[in-house]
Chain A
């Protein structure tokens, strides 16, 4: 069972959350060339190791936030509110 450290509510059972996927994906400008849009919509780094991802605390504060999680072990390394840097060890 994973405990997800919500920056607002503290560590909670994973069933309270919805996964939002890779947080490093950046939406290109609307007039950006097509390859940039293909990259944004379809291509992923899919790292085997720490991944910056989005989670949504639907059964709690209903906030989106960042989780740094190791995809090899499921270990949660850090979490952060949107727009904040990761603070290791918190939560």
Chain B
């Protein structure tokens, strides 16, 4: 009953205040070549892709965090589980956090089964996401190539590649000669600083336009009736008898049947509002782009030995990243030594890129967990859930994270794909430590 009343309230509010905004789910414009031509000829203004409603007093589900993960959670809650009385609360703007700060790489080249199955499901969702959302997220399966520089790395790559194939994931080992003929800019000579022995390729890996993921999910969720509320920071939680019943925000108190946290980078701070300590430290990870140039690199190249990765964006910039700064940080910016390291690694592998100018650098805050794997599931407070602890790997997880987070919220039990990513696994000794680095969050 309450839900019906609220929907009526909202309809009247939209009619009164925002006549130019479309009604959710009714006249959602289908994006197509024909609508593009139509608007080009008519010069009619495009309708806004989502509304900006005032927060209601109460929602069935409140999702904290308007990045890819939070918006995907809301979308799948509405689409798969029919829970449409949902709000996404974002303290800044959509995709202004890590969704807009990553290096856009998607892949599922993991060794351990929980990771392999989860990220492979995510990659499958990426493959059809543009059609699913009617929004071009520019999934580009250009391949992700992990370079191998030493015999030890060769053994590890073979082992991981075979594990991937046994899990039904595409993997292919390339010889040094195959890599040299495919990527002529890469220094494959035996005298290079980091000689290349071969590489493990995941052909279906690649890149996705990161901003479009947030926008696509936002538009699709809004069309299903989800309220997306920006400039609304959660400052506290209302907890009664061990269950969360709402959140306090900079735009007033909002009641909630259930609350999902999707704020990687700040998970510790939001969980703290519910009195929960997490096995997470926040660290800054930097990325950078060169000036834009003509197409020069048509895949994603990574090197674990020097911890470096590079791809070329559709604008032509070379997008690069490397290690964490290795100290706790919430600053969203890092320091020069890591930038120098990344550039050095780049020039050792691609000497010709030394002629380019570095255009921009930035930082994002990573939830570094104690085993390098995410935490997706129920929290010790009833009706409170989280998806976070993504370390470096959050972007590629976005669709699957939203899918299983929504499932967990809707059914109050995990989906088989996130059943192993519990918060309790640390106390139970069931950590999923892909790298075997132990409980040193900055070492993963």
* B63 interface contact, C-beta 8 A: no
The smallest C-beta distance from A2 to any residue of chain B, in angstroms, reads 6
Interface size class of B (residues with CB under 8 A): 20 to 34
A73 to B420, CA, bound (A): 36
Asked if A38 meets B426 with Cβ closer than 8 Å, knowing A22-B281, A22-B328, A44-B280, the reply is: yes
A41 to B66, CA, bound (A): 32
Contact A74 B331 (CB under 8 A): yes
A53 to B277, CA, bound (A): 18
* B182 interface contact, C-beta 8 A: no
A22 to B328, CA, bound (A): 9
Asked if A71 meets B336 with Cβ closer than 8 Å, knowing A43-B279, A44-B281, the reply is: no
A19 to B281, CA, bound (A): 13
Contact B427 A38 (CB under 8 A): yes
Asked if A43 meets B327 with Cβ closer than 8 Å, knowing A14-B335, A14-B337, A21-B440, the reply is: no
The smallest C-beta distance from B384 to any residue of chain A, in angstroms, reads 17
Interface of A: prevailing SS? mixed
The winner among B282, B326, B328 for most chain A CB atoms within 10 A is B328
A80 to B370, CA, bound (A): 27
Contact A41 B439 (CB under 8 A): yes
* B278 interface contact, C-beta 8 A: yes
| Residue in B329, B337, B442 whose beta carbon sits within 8 Å of that of A15 in the complex | B337
The winner among A1, A18, A19, A34 for most chain B CB atoms within 10 A is A19
Interface size class of A (residues with CB under 8 A): 20 to 34
A22 to B268, CA, bound (A): 15
B 251-287 to A, binary, CB cutoff 8 A, 1 in contact else 0: 0000000000000001011000000011111100000
Asked if A71 meets B329 with Cβ closer than 8 Å, knowing A35-B427, A38-B426, A46-B268, the reply is: yes
B 269-313 to A, binary, CB cutoff 8 A, 1 in contact else 0: 100000001111110000000000000000000000000000000
Contact B268 A44 (CB under 8 A): yes
**A72: B residues at CB distance < 8 A:** 330-331
Contact B337 A43 (CB under 8 A): no
Q: Which residue of B lies closest to A39 (CB)?
A: B277
Contact B280 A74 (CB under 8 A): no
| Residue in A39, A45, A71 whose beta carbon sits within 8 Å of that of B330 in the complex | A71
A 40-62 to B, binary, CB cutoff 8 A, 1 in contact else 0: 01111110100101000000000
**A2: B residues at CB distance < 8 A:** 335
A45 to B268, CA, bound (A): 8
B 401-444 to A, binary, CB cutoff 8 A, 1 in contact else 0: 00000000000000000000000001100000000000111100
**B427: A residues at CB distance < 8 A:** 34-35, 38, 42
A71 to B328, CA, bound (A): 6
**A73: B residues at CB distance < 8 A:** 331
Contact A1 B337 (CB under 8 A): yes
Contact A42 B426 (CB under 8 A): yes
| Residue in B282, B440, B442 whose beta carbon sits within 8 Å of that of A71 in the complex | B282
Asked if A45 meets B277 with Cβ closer than 8 Å, knowing A1-B337, A38-B427, the reply is: yes
**A21: B residues at CB distance < 8 A:** 281, 328, 440, 442
Q: Which of B307-350 contact A (CB under 8 A)?
A: 326-331, 335-337
| Residue in B269, B335, B370 whose beta carbon sits within 8 Å of that of A42 in the complex | B370
| Residue in B326, B335, B370, B441 whose beta carbon sits within 8 Å of that of A74 in the complex | B335
Q: What are 14 A-B contacts defined by CB distance under 8 Å? A: A1-B336, A19-B442, A21-B440, A21-B442, A34-B427, A39-B277, A43-B278, A43-B279, A44-B268, A44-B280, A44-B441, A46-B268, A48-B269, A51-B328
Q: A19-B442, A44-B268, A44-B279 are in contact. List 11 more A-B contacts (CB 8 A).
A: A1-B337, A15-B337, A18-B326, A19-B327, A21-B328, A22-B281, A41-B439, A43-B279, A46-B282, A71-B330, A73-B331
Closest 3 CB pairs of A and B: A46-B268, A42-B279, A42-B426
